[in-house]
Structures are given as structure tokens and as C-alpha cells.
Structure 1
Amino acid sequence: MSLAYAYPLSRFEPAPLVDLNDKPTRERLSGSALKGFFKLSEAWNLRDEEACNLLGGLSSSAFYEWKKKPDRVLEVDRITRISYLLGIYKALHILYGDKLADQWAGMPNRNIIFKGKTPLEYMQEGGLLAMQTVRQLLDARRGGM
């Protein structure tokens, strides 16, 4: 006799995994990722230096080139960073009104994670892992975790 665990049926279906190591996948996603990032940068009133830092230390000249000609294929690290940031942007707009959602990243925060810094400062200093942490925090607040 075999014992098998029975789990209740659920409508939850995990999203299919996206293989960012696959160049055609990155080619397909890069343009919309950059477009979304530039809109996020504008909504958050990011200085170019802050935007470059969030992208993993992109040079100013490369950043201006990307703005002029966004038709390019991003590396795995950069597309992952943008994915986290756009997820943060979306979560903020679900949790708060548009004005607060767009100001939140630049406001000092007393949450233990941020230690009085702004979430933007935290993400610039901590890079990809900090972005992941902020995304998880906001998803948990939304009830998604």
C-alpha cells in the first residue's frame, strides 16, 4: 500500500520560469524592460546617477546611449534588476495611491530593513539582493507571501 499526500485543489498556478540565459528571450524582453525602467525613473524622479547605480553601475555615456537607442539586448543581471524594480513599482501602486507610490522609494523609512535610509539608498547600496528584499517586503504587505 502506497501512502500519498493529498493536497486540496487550488486555482494557484505558478508562473512559468523565464530562462534569462536564453538570448532570444532576453531579446524579446529587453526593449519593454528598458521602456518600463525609463518610465519608472521619471516617476521616481531619479537622477541619472541614481538610475545608473540601480542598473549595476552603468556609465553615464552608456546610459545616455541607452536612452537614445533602447533597442538592445540586456545582460541577465541588468534585466533581473529591472524586473525587481518594476515589480516594486507595481506593488507600490497596488498598495498606495499614485502620488505616495511614486514618492515612497525616496522617503526615509523606519522599517528595520532600511534603518532610517530611503528604500532607494538601500537598493543602491545593496544592489540586486536589496532589490529582492524590497520586492519581498512589498509582496508580503500585499498578502502575496
Structure 2
Amino acid sequence: MPLALQVQQGFTKNQCVTGLRAAVGILEKWAASSEQACHVLRISRSTYTRARQRDPDWAVALDADQMQRISFVLNIHATLRLIFDNPQNVYGFVSMANDNEFFNGRTPLEIMAQGDMISLYETFRRIDALRGAQW
């Protein structure tokens, strides 16, 4: 299992903020709406807004499920960077309709934004398989 997927208990608030801001930044580059980002990460609209503001004094505590979701976003991004050389594909892939069996014409972002962990995991697994990874 990729290192970032091994979610530990007891993250500090600073670790939570750092991970959340990284994930929100990636979701923004993927052109996710605020509603989609909130569903993917299972966070409130106010937490999403605060994460985008970059206030150095802001702190947040996230649960293991939320940190696991952040981990999936970071790992999907890392995998896309391994697969593609150009930023248009790295950041645009998740917004492109995909006709493969699992996606059935939907975008990976649409699948992830359903908000359940299985959809996020399965999206990661299928994108990771594009680089020849085996689970």
C-alpha cells in the first residue's frame, strides 16, 4: 500500500491543515466545484473556505476518514503526474468523460464527488492501474 495511504491516528492540527490545503489546491486545479470538493473530502463549506484562505493561524482537526480522503486525492494526483508529462492531462484527466466500464461515460471527478469512500477508492485504483500498478 502506498505510504500516504497508511493513515495513522492522532494527526496534529498542523498536519491536518497542511494535508487539507494540499488536497484543496489539487481539487481546484482539477476544476472541482466547491460542492464537489466538499463531498470528496467530506468537509463543510466553511472548512473548505478556510482552507483556501491560507490564514497561518487557522487550525483544524480532521478524523481518520477525512485524512484517508486527503490521502486518496494526493495519491491520485501523484499517479497522474507519473502517467502524464503535460499539465493539461495531469489536471484535466479527472474532468474528462471516461467510457471505461467503471466510469460509464462519467468523469472520475463525478465518481469521486458522490462522496462515498468506495467511489474514491475505486477511482484511485483504476487510475493507479493505468501506470501498471497492481493491488
Give the TM-score of the pair, scaled to structure 1: 0.76
The answer on 1:40 being equivalent to 2:40 is no
Give the unaligned 5+ runs of structure 1: 1-13
Residue 104 of structure 2: aligned partner: 115
Deviations 1:42-74 (A, max 9, x none): 211221111111112x33223223334553221
Q: 1:112 to 1:144 in 2, by over 3 A?
A: same
Larger radius of gyration: 1
Q: 1:126 to 1:51 in 2, by over 3 A?
A: closer
**2:45 partner letter:** S
Give the TM-score of the pair, scaled to structure 2: 0.81
Greater Cα offset, 44-53 or 76-85: 44-53
Deviations 1:73-96 (A, max 9, x none): 211111100100110111111111
- How many residues in Structure 1 have an aligned counterpart in Structure 2? 128
Give the unaligned 5+ runs of structure 2: none
> Identity of aligned pairs, percent?
27
Higher relative contact order (CA 8 A, sep 6+): 2
The answer on 1:67 being equivalent to 2:52 is yes
Q: CA RMSD in A?
A: 2.3
Q: 1:15 to 1:44 in 2, by over 3 A?
A: closer
Which whole-Å CA distance do the structure 2 matches of 1:16 and 1:81 have between them?
A: 11
